[in-house]
Each structure stands twice: as C-alpha cells, then as structure tokens.
Amino acid sequence: MPISLHAATVPTMLQLLGSAHGWIDKAREHGLSEDTMASGCLIEDMLPFAYQIKSMAHHSKGAIEGLRAGVFGPDMTDPPTTCDGLHAKLTEAEEFLRALDPAELDSLADGPMRFEYREFNVPFTPVDFLLSFSQPNFFFHATTAYDILRASGVPLGKTDYLGMIRAKQG
C-alpha cells in the first residue's frame, strides 16, 4: 500500500511537537528556571535548548513553507527564551500542520526544491528534501532538546519523548 508524503511526515511531527510541550512543562515542574532551560546545552559548542525547539518548528512548518517556495534555508532569528514563547513556537507549528491539506502536500512532491545557506546550495526532490534532510533534522533537534533536559536532571522518560502514539483502535 503506498503511503502519502503527508502521512509519512506530518503525524509524527505533530506527535513530537506535542511531546515537546510536555518536556517544557516537566522542566518547569522540576524547578528549572526559564533562563537555565532556554540556555541549556549538552556541550559548549552545541546550540541551546531554545534553539533546538525553534528548529523543531522550522523543520516541520518551515519545511512545508520551503516546499511551497521551492527553497529552504536555516532560520537565523533568535529563538524564544521563555516557556510561553517556546510553547507558542511549538503551537504555531502544530496549528500550521493541522491546517495543512494532505492533498496540497502531496501535490508539492514534483516541484522544484533546494536548500540554500550562504554559498551552499543543494538541489533536492521535494520527497528527498523532506525524508532525507528535514525529517532527520527534526528528529535530531527533538532528541537534542529532550537530552538537554535529561542532562539537566528533568525526570523525563521514553514515554515523554514518544508522546501520544497512534495505536490501532478496536
């Protein structure tokens, strides 16, 4: 049975964006200050938690916007640094993905697509862009955000990472 591009990407993005809300809430409940949470990183040369959350939104909502435009690049804006701002960034991506017409996403599968950053330019098919570039980046940033909070002592477990799985009903 063939699977649509929408089915291969959007539901899992929504699942982990939802999970990330829970990570932020657990960090607050655990007593992690907003500043400590937003600036937390695993090692000095790695970007902080707030950037990881921003990048989850960028490699979900931003990736689809990139497909529409035929070009995608990094989001160089500063990430939100408050819990409310982080939640808002996640919610914005979730609302965008929920409103996305599956047929529209699937219709973008044959269009032009490239990644651009400074002089770096990589041509992609839209399918390869989503499945070999944006989706792995999305998972990287989700995992890194989760790991930053775990390394900060926040009591998160695997079910916190997975969130609401899509189990067969009935």
Q: All domains of the chain, ordered by start, with CATH?
A: 5-162 (1.20.120.450)
Whether 126 contacts 109, CB under 8 Å: yes
CA–CA gap between residue 146 and residue 66 (Å, rounded): 26
Please report the pLDDT score of residue 170 as a whole number: 79
Q: Please choose, from the candidates 160, 150, 142, the residue with its C-alpha nearest in 3D space to the C-alpha of residue 37.
A: 150
> From the first residue on, what is the mean pLDDT of each consecutive set of 10 residues in the chain (170 residues)?
90 98 98 97 96 98 98 97 98 98 94 94 96 98 98 97 91
